[in-house]
Amino acid sequence: MQCTGNTPPISFAMLRKMILLTGGSVVLSLMITATIILLLGETGALPLGLAIAGFCPVLVTPPATYVFCRQTMELQAAYKALGEAHRNLSDIHARLKTAHEDLEHRASHDAMTGLANRDRFLSHLSELKRQSHSGYLLMIDADHFKQINDLHGHDAGDRALLAVGQAIAGSIRPTDLGARIGGEEFAIILRGSSEEGAAMIAERVRANVENISLSTADGTPLHVTVSIGGAAFGPQSRSKEVMRQADSQLYEAKRSGRNRVVMATGKVTRAA
């Protein structure tokens, strides 16, 4: 049996429920009617009363049961659709969150090295000073980088920069921030570091870069080193002044022969 139009078909389960409810309604109606007639002593009206009592449930119960079942099915379908919509919205929300995080990362990190970019570097330094933190700033520059590009091409230069970025990322603490601030220039912000601790990390970066095993596309060995300058900063320090001091030490490292660390106090380290 099937209904026409947009109404759902009468399934076996629905038909079974209609028959059971109708049968139960007929029996209950007959019992109640017979009891009332007998209590009133109107036995002559018993046949007609029972006929009416049996006919009314047959007339009313099946369509009422069908309407009830149809509404139940529609509610179940609506609930299922709502659940599916909720799952879809959750999935969309998760994808939007991932996309937003990816955009935030792209906006604050260097695409080549994965380190923080210049804007992130400057904002982090300002935020540390605003929170009354002190520490050390290391300015880092790849030595003879123009020669690498000129002799071996920009692909070799890019590989060298990537290697330097990886060496920096692998040399610092979780609380530190490594950044590429432009071209072959890098920086590290060491929150809460002493001069001794800063010099130790700077030397670790220098040694790790020097130990990089790198070659060009044609197999030519590529030797990469960096020069590093460091300067302290505190809550009252001006970012530009701290950067100028660290740059000054970096230039001193360059003038002294490159591949070395010079801190603001004049402490110099280099490979033996």
Helix 12-40 / helix 46-108 crossing angle, nearest 10 deg: 140
Residue for token pair 């007998």: 38
Helix 46-108 / helix 118-130 crossing angle, nearest 10 deg: 100
Do the Cβ atoms of 148 and 215 come closer than 8 Å? no
Question: What are 178's strand-pairing partners?
Answer: 188
Is 252 among the catalytic positions? no
**CA–CA distance from 170 to each of 173, 223, 246 (Å)?**
8, 19, 22
| Per annotation, catalytic residue among 101, 184, 210, 252 | 184
Query: Can you give the C-alpha Rg of the chain in angstroms?
Result: 41
d(CA 161, CA 186): 10
Could you give the 3-state DSSP secondary structure of residue 67? helix
Pairing of strands 226-233, 260-263: parallel
Neighbours of 114 (CB within 10 A): 14
Catalytic sites, residue numbers: 184
